[in-house]
Structure 1
Amino acid sequence: MTNFEFFNPTKIVFGTETIAKLDQLVPANARVMILLGGESARKNGTVAEVRAALGSREVHEFNGIEPNPTYETLMQAVEIIRAEKLDFLLAVGGGSVIDGTKFIAAAVPFAGEPWDILTTFGQTITSALPFGTVLTLPATGSEMNHGAVITQKATHTKLPFMNPLVFPQFSILDPSKTFTLPTRQIANGVVDAFVHTVEQYLTYPVNGMVQDRYAEGLLNILIEIGPKVLANPQDYDLRANLMWAATQALNGLIGAGVPQDWSTHMIGHELTALFDIDHARTLAIVLPANLVLRSESKREKLLQYADRVWHITAGTEEERIAAAINKTREFFEAMGIKTRLADYDLGAAVIDTVIAKLEAHGMTALGERQDVTLAMSRQILENSL
């Protein structure tokens, strides 16, 4: 495996009835902003639990962070926090709320134009407000990493950023808080975690035995429990394993010391920004076509994937690779997630627009070998029709 440095300072508090521990986790004199998405966390009582745990601390709320958090909305929160001189943030929600909170944490003390945080992919961040999270939707792993993705609604631009200063100080993971989630969101979460794992695993071998087996274990777990979590929404153990698998899929461990791809995500981001398709669903559209087109450069890992994840051992190498990719598509479809652009009423006419956005955002050499050119991205989209 290649050289690497691994650092993850986020404290995880996992299990039922753990929200009360906020009293120990948040400084006693903190002036807190709670960041929220929709109304689900309020309706299921989570916000009331959070407020009770925070006790006599000064607490403000900001509602309305979108499923794809927008710069415009987040900047409203930034201005309130600056005006009220708040000094601790608490994200209560899923990955979008946490991503938005990371941006807000960096933007409040930022001296220049905060959009520069995105255009420099986080390299210009020099300080950030401290924050924690109460996770209510397992999917993105944002609760235990230092990355986020933000959309500028005015320009249909969706960009990622990373910086060690935006690791959450802590994250509370209570699987029982996911019992009331809609089926669509749970299905999205399973697929999101699955593709996060694939992006760090299906590249080329570097003898990262620990990382490979760890990734394969996560994929096998998601395949096993994916349909079950949809069918048994009140099963605590299923929800607990999904929540922890989604966190592990993107907390840095399986990607340490191995090549990573992320081309599926970069192409998917453009589809979300342009056409407002759920993030996980764009991944399900792009990944199978991406793997088919690049099956030769990913041959060794695809054969390993076929064997260890899908238990496909019969047939020629080409047949096993094709079968593994088909199994991947079938898994997404079984989760209720369609895998073709046509399923979202999009045809060939949109491809030029997507490619133009990729070019404008500098996404001209993607993938673990930086060989996914714009021409190849075009072909991936054509194969996704």
Structure 2
Amino acid sequence: MKFSYVNSTVIHFGQGQIEQITNAIPSDANVLVIYGGGSIKKNGVYDQVANALSSHKWYEFSGVEPNPTKETMDKAIELVAAQGITYILAIGGGSVIDGAKFVAAAALHSGDSWDLITGDYQPNSALPLGVVLTLPATGSESNMAGVITKKATNEKQGFLTPLVRPQFAVLDPDAMKTLPERQLINGLVDAWVHVCEQYITVPTGNMVQEGYAETLLKNLLVLGANFTQRDDNWHANLMWTANQALNGFLGSGVPHDWASHMMGHELTALWKVDHARSLAIVQPSLLRNQIEGKRAKLEQMGRNVFALCPSDDLAERTVDAIEAFYNSLEVETRLVEHTGDKQDAIEAILEKLKAKGFTQLGENRAIDLPTIETILADAL
């Protein structure tokens, strides 16, 4: 249990905290506000941000899509150069924030922005970034990771650099009250799998991280069970739980998996499956395939999260309970977006993973291409 941990993002949590933007962004900054499809103009968030920035010089860039694309964010990069932007403010969920992170790093590069993804560009600086979170799910508001899609080639890949960790994040639960139910469910599922990827590996003896992971998972179970009785506390608890699931602390000093994410990203890139729902499709099949290596941790999860009684098949029943959790939220655990030949779909995913060098996944690098094919055959 050896690690270094720091999280420098200042969190402004609670109702009315959007006003903190006024002092969080330097008064002489030239600000670019980046957001998605315009829902923030219907729920009052845009007006609150505009009021908070009334003494700042600022521009706006809208139209960031779910699973932000290089092609869209390149237009924002052009605006950064044209207007001499010195600070970026992202308003939205993980997609908008990830897109803004891409802009913050790639805007200072003279070459192709995709170089940030391939590693041909190693940034040593980035534009400062702040966030107003409207959809809790990814934890992107206070971590150093992002995911971007290259539409031209149907590639979805992540990038990681501490330079894009937001300087501050406003987490006002009121901002999520008008979200469609589908997006709230996606947030629940995404946060759940984020915790699982850092927890369902092997027992570590790390009482803090393992115990905290179990607490977060139990939070999400309760929130799922009370989905139809959402109130202020429900929204606040989802927003904070999703943040804690992937802000860097939970994964400190423990092994990680992330194989479900690597495969799930390809479902999103190829068939536009919602990110969270791609994870629900892959994860149960992956856990069943890898059950012997993960048996001890699944049994621990069964006891401490689902309160299941001990038995020889406790690990198997725990995977069933995970799948039942998704089903209770009416989230599919099989791919329905692709209606063609299943083997063709599997081959398409395998080709994408091979091209990226993702040929040995999981905490033990035990999930090779033949294993991935088996998992996908069950999941799809």
Band of TM-score, shorter chain: over 0.9
Partner of 2:165: 167
- Unaligned runs of 5+ residues in structure 1 are none
Partner of 1:374: 369
Tell me the CA shift for residue 57 of structure 1.
1.2
Partner of 1:273: 269
Which amino acid counterpart does residue 50 of structure 2 have in structure 1? Answer: R
Tell me the CA shift for residue 126 of structure 1.
1.2
Among 184, 198, 217, the residue aligned to 1:219:
217
**1:110/1:127 contact within 8 Å kept:** no
For 1:328 and 1:206, how far apart are their aligned partners in 2? Answer: 22
**Per-residue Cα deviation, 1:339-365 (whole angstroms, up to 9, x for no partner):** 102475363330000000000011111
Which amino acid counterpart does residue 229 of structure 2 have in structure 1? Answer: N
**2:271/2:337 contact within 8 Å kept:** no
Which amino acid counterpart does residue 288 of structure 1 have in structure 2? Answer: P
Among 350, 355, 359, the residue aligned to 2:354:
359
For 2:328 and 2:49, how far apart are their aligned partners in 1? Answer: 36
Among 324, 335, 350, the residue aligned to 2:329:
335
Among 80, 103, 122, the residue aligned to 1:124:
122
Partner of 2:248: 252
Partner of 2:318: 324
Which amino acid counterpart does residue 304 of structure 1 have in structure 2? Answer: Q
Q: State yes or no: 1:315 paired with 2:314.
A: no
For 2:93 and 2:45, how far apart are their aligned partners in 1? Answer: 13
Tell me the CA shift for residue 56 of structure 1.
2.4
1:1-385 correspondence to structure 2 within 5 Å: 1=1, 3-120=2-119, 124-228=122-226, 230-233=227-230, 235-316=231-312, 319-342=313-336, 345=339, 347-385=342-380
Aligned identity (percent) is 46
**1:211/1:256 contact within 8 Å kept:** yes
Aligned length: 379
For 1:110 and 1:262, how far apart are their aligned partners in 2? Answer: 29
**Per-residue Cα deviation, 1:79-132 (whole angstroms, up to 9, x for no partner):** 111111011100000010000000000011123322111112x97121100010
**1:91/1:97 contact within 8 Å kept:** yes
**1:13/1:171 contact within 8 Å kept:** yes
The more displaced of 139-148 and 335-344 is 335-344
Which amino acid counterpart does residue 255 of structure 2 have in structure 1? Answer: P
For 2:338 and 2:178, how far apart are their aligned partners in 1? Answer: 26
For 2:223 and 2:27, how far apart are their aligned partners in 1? Answer: 40
**2:109/2:121 contact within 8 Å kept:** no
Tell me the CA shift for residue 322 of structure 1.
1.1
**1:215/1:254 contact within 8 Å kept:** yes
For 1:269 and 1:123, how far apart are their aligned partners in 2? Answer: 22
**Per-residue Cα deviation, 1:21-51 (whole angstroms, up to 9, x for no partner):** 1111010111111001111111111111101
**1:123/1:162 contact within 8 Å kept:** no
**2:70/2:113 contact within 8 Å kept:** no
What do you get for the CA RMSD once the two structures are aligned? 1.2
For 2:59 and 2:332, how far apart are their aligned partners in 1? Answer: 40
- Unaligned runs of 5+ residues in structure 2 are none
| Structure 1 residues 123 and 306: CA distance shift in structure 2, 3 A | farther
Which runs of structure 1 show a deviation greater than 2 angstroms over 4 or more consecutive aligned residues?
342-349
**1:123/1:163 contact within 8 Å kept:** no
Aligned to 1:103, the other structure's residue is in SS state: helix
